[in-house]
């Protein structure tokens, strides 16, 4: 899950009810199909990179804990 500052979020009514959405993604939905797809791909890559960095950080912490024992 990605953290957004509250000032970058808006409540949006969806079929499932009211959900919080970031302004960037709201604005991206107003573009053409190609622009929306490009935004989605870019966001997916950012999410993957963030997940990889987090996992590497966790693994480094575990390795250091084992070495210090």
Q: Tell me if the pTM is above 0.75.
A: no
In three state form, how does the secondary structure of the chain look?
Answer: CCCCCHHHEEEEEECCEEEEEEHHHHHHCCCCHHHHHHHHHHHHHHHHHHHHHHHHHHHHHHHHHHHHC
Number of neighbours of residue 21 by Cβ within 10 angstroms:
15
- The pLDDT profile of the chain, 69 residues, written as one tens digit per residue, is 567 888 999 999 999 999 999 999 899 989 999 999 999 999 999 999 999 999 999 998 888 888 776
- What's phi and psi for 46, nearest 5 deg? -60, -40
């Amino acid at each position: 899950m990605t953290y957004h500052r509250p000032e970058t979020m808006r409540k949006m009514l969806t079929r499932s009810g009211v959900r919080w959405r970031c302004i960037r993604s709201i604005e991206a939905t107003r573009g053409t199909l190609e622009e929306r797809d490009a935004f989605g791909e870019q966001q997916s890559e950012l999410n993957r990179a963030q997940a990889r960095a987090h996992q590497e950080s966790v693994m480094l912490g575990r390795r250091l804990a084992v070495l210090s024992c």
